Structure 1
């Protein structure tokens, strides 16, 4: 009776066998005990209802992380490609090359403030010809 702890209870109970109680506790807390497939949640079973081991589960999680990182990387590279040519120095260099937009002109000064806005720089950068860029910049200046 070295590891048996007597439980308090009424003396008239016949089912208070300390050895059976300790054995039940050991069985309930045994680590590594196999559970029936119906007790496993969906994440612990594959599509065929088999139990997934730790290595398989970890490999699946790593594959998922790699997929997420790759998709973010692709999205980031697409965003960077879209923004090429729309940095402030690049846009202002184009503005300086437009007719009547030499530095210190009123339209050039207006562009320096307008192109603080990334969206405005992107719109300007998507325009193909200098005439269209000049017309749009003049339009924005007149509607300020």
Structure 2
């Protein structure tokens, strides 16, 4: 029992909570929100059920409904394709991209794309996708 309590103390907290709360407070309800890891969905939705997230729980669902977009998303998130902020925003009709700091490569990808940080805490960053994308016009 003591070991279980000790191990529980090392479990990470909800690293996406602050970013999700920021989105909930700053974007219109129903807006699409970009993110790069399907596993982040649980925390994002738990703290912000008012928005639509790109992918959640299992990417196989999107593979069935939209194979082109899931392949694009997978190539970007794994670094096989460079992040083009306008293309990403247009593809997913979103103005923001949430990235967990637990995947430093994805943070670097956003920094390399010169994305502006709208929110940051110890767990995640919310980046603004550039104006001029089709997403901004919706």
TM-score > 0.5 by shorter chain = no
| Structure with the greater alpha carbon radius of gyration | 1
TM-score if structure 1 supplies the norm length? Answer: 0.26
Structure with the higher fraction of residues in strand conformation = 2
Structure with the higher fraction of residues in helix conformation = 1
